[in-house]
Amino acid sequence: MKQGDIVKGTITAIKPFGAFVKVDEKTQGMIHISEVADGYVHNIEDYLTVGKTVRLYVLEQKDTHRLSLSYKRANKQKKKRLKIHLKHGFQPLKEALPKWIEGYDLGEGNE
Protein backbone atom coordinates (compact mmCIF):
# COMPACT_ATOMS: atom_id res chain seq x y z
CA MET A 1 0.00 0.00 0.00
CA LYS A 2 1.16 3.51 -0.76
CA GLN A 3 0.13 7.10 -0.11
CA GLY A 4 -3.13 7.94 -1.86
CA ASP A 5 -4.53 4.40 -1.88
CA ILE A 6 -8.07 3.83 -0.66
CA VAL A 7 -8.39 0.79 1.62
CA LYS A 8 -11.06 -0.78 3.78
CA GLY A 9 -10.40 -1.34 7.44
CA THR A 10 -12.22 -2.37 10.59
CA ILE A 11 -12.09 -0.15 13.68
CA THR A 12 -10.52 -2.18 16.50
CA ALA A 13 -10.14 0.44 19.24
CA ILE A 14 -10.93 4.08 19.90
CA LYS A 15 -8.86 6.40 22.07
CA PRO A 16 -9.27 10.16 22.72
CA PHE A 17 -6.51 10.92 20.18
CA GLY A 18 -7.61 8.57 17.38
CA ALA A 19 -8.85 5.19 16.23
CA PHE A 20 -6.94 1.99 15.54
CA VAL A 21 -7.77 0.00 12.44
CA LYS A 22 -7.14 -3.53 11.15
CA VAL A 23 -6.69 -3.34 7.35
CA ASP A 24 -5.80 -7.01 6.80
CA GLU A 25 -4.26 -9.91 8.75
CA LYS A 26 -0.82 -8.27 8.75
CA THR A 27 -1.53 -4.55 8.43
CA GLN A 28 -2.68 -2.17 11.17
CA GLY A 29 -3.23 1.56 11.03
CA MET A 30 -4.29 4.59 12.98
CA ILE A 31 -6.63 7.46 12.20
CA HIS A 32 -5.55 10.55 14.12
CA ILE A 33 -8.45 12.62 15.48
CA SER A 34 -7.54 15.43 13.06
CA GLU A 35 -8.20 13.05 10.14
CA VAL A 36 -11.72 12.06 11.23
CA ALA A 37 -13.63 15.15 10.05
CA ASP A 38 -13.00 18.63 8.66
CA GLY A 39 -14.45 20.41 11.69
CA TYR A 40 -13.73 20.08 15.40
CA VAL A 41 -14.20 16.50 16.64
CA HIS A 42 -15.28 16.50 20.26
CA ASN A 43 -15.88 12.74 20.41
CA ILE A 44 -14.53 10.32 17.80
CA GLU A 45 -17.35 7.92 18.62
CA ASP A 46 -19.77 10.36 17.00
CA TYR A 47 -18.13 9.29 13.70
CA LEU A 48 -16.60 5.84 14.23
CA THR A 49 -17.47 2.76 16.28
CA VAL A 50 -15.50 -0.36 17.13
CA GLY A 51 -16.28 -3.15 14.67
CA LYS A 52 -17.36 -0.82 11.88
CA THR A 53 -15.68 -1.34 8.47
CA VAL A 54 -14.85 1.95 6.76
CA ARG A 55 -13.13 3.32 3.65
CA LEU A 56 -9.82 4.99 4.44
CA TYR A 57 -7.20 7.05 2.61
CA VAL A 58 -3.57 6.05 3.13
CA LEU A 59 -1.60 9.09 4.28
CA GLU A 60 1.67 7.31 4.91
CA GLN A 61 3.10 3.83 5.26
CA LYS A 62 5.09 3.93 8.51
CA ASP A 63 6.69 0.52 7.92
CA THR A 64 5.72 -2.75 6.27
CA HIS A 65 2.65 -3.32 8.45
CA ARG A 66 1.69 0.12 9.88
CA LEU A 67 -0.27 2.86 8.15
CA SER A 68 -1.28 6.42 8.91
CA LEU A 69 -4.88 6.76 7.69
CA SER A 70 -7.52 9.39 7.02
CA TYR A 71 -11.26 8.84 7.31
CA LYS A 72 -12.26 12.34 6.14
CA ARG A 73 -10.25 12.19 2.89
CA ALA A 74 -11.84 8.90 1.84
CA ASN A 75 -15.38 9.94 2.78
CA LYS A 76 -15.66 13.52 1.56
CA GLN A 77 -19.19 14.80 1.39
CA LYS A 78 -20.14 17.46 -1.07
CA LYS A 79 -20.92 20.70 0.65
CA LYS A 80 -24.39 21.97 0.06
CA ARG A 81 -24.53 25.25 -1.75
CA LEU A 82 -26.91 27.83 -0.43
CA LYS A 83 -29.18 29.22 -3.10
CA ILE A 84 -30.79 32.60 -2.59
CA HIS A 85 -33.89 33.46 -4.52
CA LEU A 86 -34.68 37.16 -4.59
CA LYS A 87 -38.32 37.88 -5.37
CA HIS A 88 -37.68 41.52 -6.10
CA GLY A 89 -33.97 41.51 -6.88
CA PHE A 90 -32.05 44.40 -5.39
CA GLN A 91 -34.81 46.95 -6.01
CA PRO A 92 -35.81 47.30 -2.30
CA LEU A 93 -32.16 47.96 -1.40
CA LYS A 94 -31.80 50.48 -4.22
CA GLU A 95 -34.87 52.34 -2.96
CA ALA A 96 -33.79 52.30 0.71
CA LEU A 97 -30.13 53.21 0.22
CA PRO A 98 -30.64 56.95 -0.49
CA LYS A 99 -32.77 57.27 2.67
CA TRP A 100 -30.06 55.56 4.73
CA ILE A 101 -27.35 57.80 3.31
CA GLU A 102 -29.47 60.91 3.89
CA GLY A 103 -30.15 59.85 7.48
CA TYR A 104 -26.50 59.14 8.26
CA ASP A 105 -25.14 61.71 10.70
CA LEU A 106 -21.58 62.83 10.03
CA GLY A 107 -21.41 64.60 13.38
CA GLU A 108 -18.50 64.63 15.78
CA GLY A 109 -16.91 61.25 16.49
CA ASN A 110 -18.21 59.67 13.27
CA GLU A 111 -15.40 60.63 10.95
Task: Please check whether residue 24 lies inside any domain of the structure.
Answer: yes
- The model carries a pTM of 0.69
Decide: residue 37, CB within 10 A, 0-12 exposed, 13-18 middle, 19+ buried. middle
Domain region containing 40:
6-70
Task: Please check whether residue 28 lies inside any domain of the structure.
Answer: yes
Task: Please check whether residue 92 lies inside any domain of the structure.
Answer: no
Q: What is the pLDDT of residues 73-107, one digit of tens each?
A: 999 876 667 777 767 777 788 888 888 888 776 65
Rounded to whole angstroms, how far apart are CA atoms 74 and 4? Answer: 10
Domain CATH number, residue 11: 2.40.50.140
Task: Please check whether residue 32 lies inside any domain of the structure.
Answer: yes
Task: Please check whether residue 22 lies inside any domain of the structure.
Answer: yes
Task: Please check whether residue 78 lies inside any domain of the structure.
Answer: no
Task: Please check whether residue 45 lies inside any domain of the structure.
Answer: yes
Task: Please check whether residue 90 lies inside any domain of the structure.
Answer: no
Q: What is the pLDDT of residues 47-60, one digit of tens each?
A: 999 999 999 999 99
Rounded to whole angstroms, how far apart are CA atoms 70 and 75? Answer: 9
